[in-house]
């Protein structure tokens, strides 16, 4: 399972930028109710939403922002980063459709009503990681390439010690993807598709052409990570092997034959085992 429990690249950058701002506040002015900052313009909208709740008013001149805080608001709290909100569906919605355990090949039977449900919502990630009454939707993309000898290989990597779920570190995986964030729904975009493409672009450099199919769902309630996630398995059949890892958390990335993957089955995370068993 990809990036489960870690922060998105954007969230990590926001926290880093926020820390830098807070370190500079004391030098910027001597007024406890005034903040003068020069934010990264790409990240400013994220902080603007927070400051609306804490500031009496903001004055923006080019790349400089002066913020007058409401009484009782500290500068530290004013520049805190809002918790990431991720796409979830109540377990009760899934149960009304049917039961899933392991790999479910009838993907549209479940996914179409799930994505069309008015009970889909973006909830705080921290709370969702320990609440099995909600399932976090996770695109899980397999990158499939058949060489000139007709041998099918899957892009495979080892989870490193970066921002991903610590309970999955050192496991081998054939799935690329991660959480769908609230920002993926900006300007009326389809959050699921947008989030899947964003995660792919963050995690790998994929330059080969491909065809895409949606293959199934994965639910594994045998462990604490699996109980709160619902994987949606996509297969990208590539025209060539032009794929490389973009992140340290995806170590030792490369194409491995199905035969070799079966031979090292015990090193694979559960979702990868289930996907390979069902599709190959």
Q: Which CATH number does the domain housing residue 36 bear?
A: 3.30.1360
How many domains is the chain partitioned into structurally? 2
Last residue of a domain, one of 25, 43, 78: 78
Q: Is residue 212 part of a domain?
A: yes
Q: Is residue 1 part of a domain?
A: no
Q: Which CATH number does the domain housing residue 161 bear?
A: 3.90.79.10
Q: Tell me the pLDDT tens digit for each residue of 142-184.
A: 999 999 999 999 999 998 744 444 444 578 999 999 999 999 9
122 plus 246 within the same structural domain: yes
Taking the C-alpha atoms of 151, 152, 158 and 164 in order, what is their torsion angle to the nearest 10 degrees?
170
Using the 8-state DSSP alphabet, how is residue 18 labeled?
H
71 plus 194 within the same structural domain: no
The list of the chain residues with pLDDT below 70 reads: 1-82, 161-169
188 plus 149 within the same structural domain: yes
Q: Tell me the pLDDT tens digit for each residue of 264-279.
A: 999 999 999 999 999 9
Q: Is residue 273 part of a domain?
A: yes
Q: Is residue 223 part of a domain?
A: yes
54 plus 117 within the same structural domain: no
Last residue of a domain, one of 78, 107, 135: 78
What is the helix (H) or strand (E) element at residue 135, kind and residue range? strand 134-146
Whole-number pLDDT of residue 160: 74
- Asked whether the whole model's pTM tops 0.85, one would answer no
139 plus 197 within the same structural domain: yes
Whole-number pLDDT of residue 67: 58
Last residue of a domain, one of 78, 108, 136: 78
Whole-number pLDDT of residue 28: 42
β-bridge partners, 274:
none
Q: What is the C-alpha separation between 11 and 7, in angstroms, rounded?
A: 6
């Amino acid at each position: 399972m990809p990036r489960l429990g870690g922060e998105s690249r954007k969230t990590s950058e926001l926290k880093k930028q926020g820390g830098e701002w807070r370190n500079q506040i004391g030098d910027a002015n001597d007024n406890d109710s005034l903040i003068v900052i020069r934010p990264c313009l790409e990240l400013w909208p994220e902080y603007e939403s927070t400051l609306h709740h804490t500031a009496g008013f903001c004055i923006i001149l080019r790349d400089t922002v002066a913020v007058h805080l409401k009484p009782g608001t500290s500068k530290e709290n004013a520049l805190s980063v809002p918790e990431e909100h991720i796409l979830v569906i109540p377990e009760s919605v899934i149960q009304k459709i049917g039961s899933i355990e392991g790999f479910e090949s009838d993907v549209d039977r479940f996914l179409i009503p799930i994505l069309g449900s008015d009970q889909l919502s973006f909830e705080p990630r921290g709370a969702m990681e320990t609440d099995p009454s909600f399932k976090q939707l996770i695109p899980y993309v397999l990158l499939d390439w058949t060489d000139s000898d007709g041998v099918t290989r899957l892009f495979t990597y080892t989870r490193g010690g970066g921002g991903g779920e610590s309970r999955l570190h050192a496991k081998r995986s054939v799935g690329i993807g991660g959480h769908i964030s609230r920002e993926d729904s900006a300007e009326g975009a389809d959050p699921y598709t947008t989030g899947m493409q964003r995660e792919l672009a963050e995690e790998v450099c994929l330059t080969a052409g491909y065809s895409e199919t949606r293959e199934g769902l994965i639910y594994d309630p045998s462990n604490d990570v699996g109980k709160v996630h619902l994987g949606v398995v996509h297969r990208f059949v590539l025209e060539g092997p032009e794929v490389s890892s973009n992140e340290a958390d995806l170590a030792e990335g490369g194409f491995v034959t199905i035969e070799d993957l079966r031979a090292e089955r015990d090193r694979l995370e559960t979702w990868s085992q289930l996907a390979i068993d069902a599709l190959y």
